Amino acid sequence: MTQMSSKNRKEKPKMKPIIQVVNLFHRVVELIASGVFSLIAYFCHPKECQPPIKNRILLYSASTLAAQIRQQEITSEEVVQAYIDRINEIQPILNCVVEGRFEEALEEARKCDKMLRSSNAPSIKILTMEKPFLGVPFTTKDCIAIAGMKQTAGLVVRKNTVSDRDAETVKLMRAAGAIPIAKTNVSELAMWWESSNCIYGTSRNPYNTRHIVGGSSGGEGALIAAAGSPFGIGSDIGGSIRMPCFFNGIFGHKTTRGVVSNEGQYPSPHHEEQDVLLSLGPMCRNPFDLIPMLRVLAGKNASMLNLDSKVDLSKLKIYYMEDDGGQLLVSPVEPEIKKAMYRVIDYFARVHKVKAKKVDLKKMKKSTDLWLANMSTKDARGFAYELSNRTGVLNIWWKLAQWFTFMGPHTLIALITVLVESFGIKFGSEKHTKLIQQSRDLYLEFKDMLDDGGIFLYPTHPTAAPMHHEPLIKPFNFSYTAIINVLGVPSTACPLGLNQNGLPIGIQVIGGMYQDHLTLAVAEEIGRAFGGWVPPPLIENGATIEVPTDIALYT
């Protein structure tokens, strides 16, 4: 052991200059490529106008809408129709919805209203307890099954695949009275952080249509941010809830692993190694919808999360890192994101007298490798198998030839993933075993830090939403969210306004295992203190105009 330690000490000085050179080269490539993508976006992706939010129904939280429907201050039909109208307004611009069930949703809304008007309707108290979202519409990403609707996961060969039953999460939402109205766009097979595929095309950011919406729950994030849905369900295996929430300026929660059922999600994990990384959870504009929604989605497991307990914020222990310590081939965290984090730290120090402690978790530098190691499986069935819709192995060279002739059924990034996969970390190899052990060691560090009422503040992503296709030269930036999936702990994405370019920024709040109530309580406080969701701008003749103050207010 002593010899090994001595060897490592000798190697580090040699490796450091190499790492610095590689990172410098990557920064130069990023800078040049970003300029190229900016030019492409300027000429090929016009900055389109957002229709103004005229209907105040669209600004209420899902919980407020449910209360108004129960008390018959507003009808479910009015609410559902308002959201259908909004979807029809924004869809031509944002391309975030892949399929609607508008007539069915309206019919279910009318039945809800009829039940409430009947003489034998349950009391408001009973409805609040048993059907907390009665009559409120919701949406899901395309990967999550809704009976009678397509479930393509962005894969062309699945373009006519129709689900015969609801996913468990959808079933629970229906039981709570909510009404599904649409499904939203994803990246191909939900394995990339730009929502684009060869069936439905590319979704566009409501704050600037030249920028991405994130992935894989990107269509969901864009739709909610543009007030096209009050709330929705996403899934997250490497940041697929939190990145779209960050890029689109809304709230989202990756739950403690195993709390919310993954049943009905496609692609479904083949093995336990991947299943524990996947988490389904809520996405919404209003942070006060997170706990009620998670209570529904967790079902019988909700009791494990102490969601009804009151959190004394003055007794929190707050830790933070402003970046990953300099991971190889990952962009540096933008200064505005760091400043946003420090605003939160300063707020808790001033208002709640809680002083945050900066920590240096060395293994965060290996976030990408740790996630890749945990994603590797015993049978070595790779992404080529998934792209074939699990029917065989894809002929990658033939598919690449098709792509270059604009006739292929797959996105370029999906094909690149297949090519580089053969050079990845092999299950059971010495490197894999070492990384799995380091994952466990990092988990223990987090456990020691957070199990006694602690939270950890960390960037959700190093940059605001990039231009379309720009992730191709920043492929590993997802590591800021992916490492939290490795740990299995809860994490809540919280918006913190817009940067100087008018794009959303924010942070993620991470807690110990089954301490979801702490991160959600902090999210509520951040929403209260910093305003939460900011309505997307209106654009007239290429110039951005302010949203009227009375319209910007939401409940």
The residues that are catalytic are 141, 216, 240
Q: Which helix (H) or strand (E) holds 177?
A: none
Strand pairing of 317-320 and 454-459?
A: parallel
Distance CA 226, CA 161 (A): 28
Burial track 411-422 (b if 16+ CB lie within 10 A, e otherwise): bebbbbbbeebe
What separation in angstroms does the CA of 476 have from each of 68, 254, 552? 45, 20, 35
- DSSP codes of every residue in 121-141: PPPHHHHHHH-TTTT-EEEEE
Q: Which two tokens stand for residue 109?
A: 């809304």
Residue 139 backbone phi and psi in degrees, to 5: -130, 165
Determine contact, residues 242/218, Cβ cutoff 8 Å: no
| Closest listed residue to residue 187, CA positions, set 158, 207, 217 | 217
Tokens of 423: 């050079």
- Given a contact cutoff of 8 angstroms between Cβ atoms, the answer to whether 234 and 246 are in contact is no
The one-letter amino acid code at 313 reads L
Is the CA virtual torsion 308, 312, 317, 319 positive or negative? positive
SS3 350: helix
Q: Angle CA(204)–CA(205)–CA(209) in degrees, nearest 5?
A: 70
DSSP string, 256-279: STTSS--TTBSSPPSSHHHHTT-E
